[in-house]
Amino acid sequence: MMYNNTLDKPSYLTSKAILGGSLANLLVWYDWYIYAAFAIYFSASFFPHGSQTVQLLQTAGIFALGFFMRPIGGMVLGSFADRFGRRKSMLLSVLLMSFGSLLIAVTPTYESIGIYAPILLLFARLIQGLSIGGGTGITTAYLTELSPPRT
């Protein structure tokens, strides 16, 4: 039982779960948008030298392609959540987002590995898109399930 029936207030465990779910959602969205905020600074590292505008547009294109993975992430991670639980699925979502961010951080520059740099960047963003697509729905369902019933 998660609620104290005499006071009809959420228990300590419910409050902790709500805080954890909210922080997981915040982390996933933060990692998602940090890419957009810093794209202007790292776009030259992942694409051939030339026009800064073209480099930034290519970086923005990869950002946009990440959005295509969101519905797939909702289906895949939603199914995972139904089978193994919302908490495990939220953790998986955060781990996927973290892996995508780490991959972006450690990917060598275009000058070092050539065409593989933007390919790895795209792969990382697709993983992040999968993560955020699943994480948003799962967190919403998890927090909704924790809410007290209306009387």
Per-residue pLDDT reduced to its tens digit, 39-91:
888 899 999 888 889 999 999 999 999 999 999 999 999 999 999 988 899 88
> How many other CB atoms are found less than 10 A from the CB of residue 123?
16
Q: Long-range contacts: 1-8, Cβ < 8 Å, 24+?
A: 2/146, 3/148, 8/148, 8/151
User: Is residue 29 included in any domain, yes or no?
Assistant: yes
User: Is residue 4 included in any domain, yes or no?
Assistant: no
Q: What is the CATH number of the domain that holds 77?
A: 1.20.1250.20
Quote the pLDDT of residue 5: 47
User: Is residue 121 included in any domain, yes or no?
Assistant: yes
And the tokens for 27? 């982390």
For residue 96, what are the domain limits? 10-146
Q: Is the pLDDT of residue 2 over 70?
A: no
User: Is residue 5 included in any domain, yes or no?
Assistant: no
Residue 100 binned pLDDT confidence (cut-offs 50, 70, 90): very high
> How many other CB atoms are found less than 10 A from the CB of residue 43?
21
Cα distance between residue 135 and residue 24, in whole Å: 8
User: Is residue 1 included in any domain, yes or no?
Assistant: no
Write out pLDDT tens, residues 7-51.
Answer: 455 577 677 777 877 787 787 788 888 888 888 888 999 998 888
User: Is residue 34 included in any domain, yes or no?
Assistant: yes
Cα distance between residue 93 and residue 98, in whole Å: 9
Q: Is the pLDDT of residue 93 over 60?
A: yes
Quote the pLDDT of residue 108: 96
Quote the pLDDT of residue 25: 77
> How many other CB atoms are found less than 10 A from the CB of residue 59?
25
Quote the pLDDT of residue 118: 94
Total number of domains in the chain: 1
**Burial code of 65-86, b = ≥16 C-beta within 10 A, e = fewer?**
ebeebbeebbebbbebbeeeeb
Quote the pLDDT of residue 8: 52
User: Is residue 111 included in any domain, yes or no?
Assistant: yes
Q: What is the rounded radius of gyration, in angstroms, for the C-alpha atoms of the chain?
A: 19
pTM: 0.81
User: By C-alpha distance, which of 131, 34, 142 is closest to 92?
Assistant: 131
User: Is residue 97 included in any domain, yes or no?
Assistant: yes
